[in-house]
Structure 1
Amino acid sequence: MNKATIVGSINLDTNLRVHRMVKPGETIHGKEHYTAAGGKGANQAVATARAGSKTRFIGAVGNDGPGEQMLDLLKEEKIDVSGIEIIQNEPTGQAFIPIDDNGENSIMFYAGANYAFGTEEVAKNSSLIETNDFVIAQLETPIEATIKAFEIARSKNVKTILNPAPGESDLPEKLLKLTDMIIPNETEAETITGIEVNDETSAKKAAAKLHELGVEAVIITFGAKGAFYDFNGYSELVPAFKVKAVDTTAAGDTFIGYMIATLEKDFSNLREAILHGNKASSATVQRFGAQPSIPYKNEII
């Protein structure tokens, strides 16, 4: 059983189902409204735990009702929440997500407490990183905190995995040199490398650029097309499973969590791990919500 620590965001998601996305200045009717636990970090932690890995979390919530609710839900998943700070003067993070009839979404994110923890909080929770196989981070929390977590991981031979979402064009070189594996989608890969990514050929060019920046293994996710990987001289687009998507929220997070649960530390079974992630995310997109849509291990088996 793999052991993983997630350094990342925790949000309360407010979801609104609509027939189509709204245009600027337009008002339309929604057809369903609901809230759910979310945040890319928390989603990935839940996916990792449901996939069967021992999971720990470093992050922050506000001293409020949503924060208490999010902590309770993570505890229910048997996730170690001892590294989650409760911030007194910041609200728990929030995300607002419209989802159209094609299952596509857009996300507006208010960081709140997610941006109120940093290197000190990571350092004092170093024991949650040092004894693990993997540490996983995204870009919904301070980059300085992620760099600190990756420095701790590297000092103890723990593999570092970066999901650079939301995409940023000026990622610190220091962070990329500390990253063993990077997992952007095609848009994020273009944002980081400046290379338009729309097929295997362009994905390979972007991967080459990321290797030059110091990253050992590259996975670029292509949504319904699957996931491209480039590692140790091998590259391939591993196809996704074909299903009818109703909500793509948390699909990428599910992919990462389930892939990590299967992955060997030397990445020697990378293609097999990607297939496992693809299978799990194909279940996620057939359900609504972020964490409520993430499947359990027995469903994937």
Structure 2
Amino acid sequence: MVILMNKVTVVGSINLDTNLRVKRMVKPGETIHAKEHYSAGGGKGANQAVAASRAGADTTFIGAVGNDAPGKQMMDLLKEEGIDLSGIDTIANESTGQAFITVDDEGENSITIYAGANFAFGPKEIDQKESLLKDSDFVIAQFETPIDATIRAFEIAHKNEVKTILNPAPGEDSISADLLKVTDMITPNETEAETITGVHVEDEVSAKKAAAKLHDLGVEVVIITIGSKGAFYDFNGTSELVPAFKVHAVDTTAAGDTFIGAMSSVLKANFSNLKDAILFGNKASSLTVQRYGAQPSIPYQKEIEVK
């Protein structure tokens, strides 16, 4: 596949992850021993930016960290990835976002997030970054930062004919109509799709029903990731379930973020190569789930391109 040098801007969260590996998940009131403990870069926004950059995109980040040691650590990590950090504010009297992640021997995870500085910026701060947003091919956002900031970022993108990708995670019962009006592509997983549409997604038929409801809400392109089954897309009268690569998963943390970041790095602005871009994202995600951690598990372009 020919790699495009897309300009991708991510508006989103930055977290320092504290990871615990356990044999099984703890029960309420129970104490168990962890097998391993480590810290690493995380946050859905930062994960997606790292994935886009490693897959070959010219990547910019808009967000916030606290004036603390975790904030400096995260800025250093993102700088090493070659990401443009000029859109990241350091906010006094706020803590950098943190996530506490437990992963069991089956590769399943449980995550608790403290937002901190991730919720300390809004439309005013977004307006100050208009030059970064309009100089993009795609603008990506999630639900780990304020919705009003995301709406403003997407409005600026649309005004400048820049395509927008909404990853509606963590899941919300409803999504602002103002946000959907400026969303070109939405990328829920099966659980998030059910939360938004009320349709239980488990196969291609149910995914198409959910996609129809998302189209009715005003979104042009729908991609629903269905775990190990793959990613279903519905666009311009064409729909298909693109199978996932069969691998042994040890940690699913950042799998969805990797998919979105990698896909955006090769996707054409008119979505004409949508299936190929999904395949590229699926390959990247299949590599991520075979490794532990969020950002440490995200693959590089040369790995994804290997046949």
Give your verdict on TM over 0.5.
yes
The equivalent residue for 2:133 is: 129
The equivalent residue for 1:9 is: 13
The equivalent residue for 2:206 is: 202
User: In structure 1, how many angstroms separate the alpha carbons of the residues matched to 2:290 and 2:202?
Assistant: 24
TM-score by length of structure 1 reads: 0.99
The equivalent residue for 1:99 is: 103
1:276 aligned to which of 277, 280, 283:
280
Superposition deviation, residue 29 in structure 1: 1.3
Q: Is residue 159 of structure 2 the alignment partner of residue 155 of structure 1?
A: yes
Name the aligned partner's letter for residue 190 of structure 2.
Answer: E
Alignment of 1:36-51 (within 5 A): 36-51=40-55
The equivalent residue for 2:235 is: 231
Superposition deviation, residue 280 in structure 1: 0.6
The equivalent residue for 1:215 is: 219
User: In structure 1, how many angstroms separate the alpha carbons of the residues matched to 2:35 and 2:135?
Assistant: 47
Alignment of 1:111-122 (within 5 A): 111-122=115-126
The equivalent residue for 1:178 is: 182
User: In structure 1, how many angstroms separate the alpha carbons of the residues matched to 2:27 and 2:242?
Assistant: 35
Name the aligned partner's letter for residue 195 of structure 1.
Answer: V
Gaps of 5+ in 1: none
Alignment of 1:257-276 (within 5 A): 257-276=261-280
User: In structure 1, how many angstroms separate the alpha carbons of the residues matched to 2:285 and 2:91?
Assistant: 32
Aligned to 1:207, what secondary structure does the other structure show? Answer: helix
Superposition deviation, residue 164 in structure 1: 0.3
Superposition deviation, residue 253 in structure 1: 0.6
Deviations 1:137-190 (A, max 9, x none): 000000000000000000000000000000001211111111000000000001
Aligned to 2:78, what secondary structure does the other structure show? Answer: helix
The equivalent residue for 1:28 is: 32
The equivalent residue for 2:67 is: 63
Superposition deviation, residue 211 in structure 1: 0.2
Aligned to 1:58, what secondary structure does the other structure show? Answer: strand
Query: Which stretches of structure 1, 4 residues or longer, exceed 6 Å deviation after superposition?
Result: none
User: In structure 1, how many angstroms separate the alpha carbons of the residues matched to 2:27 and 2:204?
Assistant: 32
TM-score by length of structure 2 reads: 0.97
User: In structure 1, how many angstroms separate the alpha carbons of the residues matched to 2:296 and 2:67?
Assistant: 23
User: In structure 1, how many angstroms separate the alpha carbons of the residues matched to 2:16 and 2:96?
Assistant: 7
Q: Is residue 255 of structure 2 the alignment partner of residue 255 of structure 1?
A: no
The equivalent residue for 2:292 is: 288
Gaps of 5+ in 2: none
Deviations 1:6-60 (A, max 9, x none): 0000000001001111112221111111110000000000000001110001000
Q: Percent identity?
A: 74
Aligned to 1:228, what secondary structure does the other structure show? Answer: strand
How many corresponding residue pairs? 301
Aligned to 1:106, what secondary structure does the other structure show? Answer: strand
User: In structure 2, how many angstroms separate the alpha carbons of the residues matched to 1:175 and 1:25?
Assistant: 40
Name the aligned partner's letter for residue 64 of structure 2.
Answer: A
Deviations 1:97-151 (A, max 9, x none): 1001011101111100000011111100011110110000000000000000000
Name the aligned partner's letter for residue 242 of structure 2.
Answer: V
Q: Is residue 166 of structure 2 the alignment partner of residue 188 of structure 1?
A: no
Q: Is residue 303 of structure 2 the alignment partner of residue 299 of structure 1?
A: yes
Deviations 1:200-259 (A, max 9, x none): 111111100000000000000011111000001011110000111111111111101110
1:109 aligned to which of 102, 109, 113:
113
Aligned to 1:66, what secondary structure does the other structure show? Answer: helix
Task: Output the aligned Cα RMSD.
Answer: 0.6
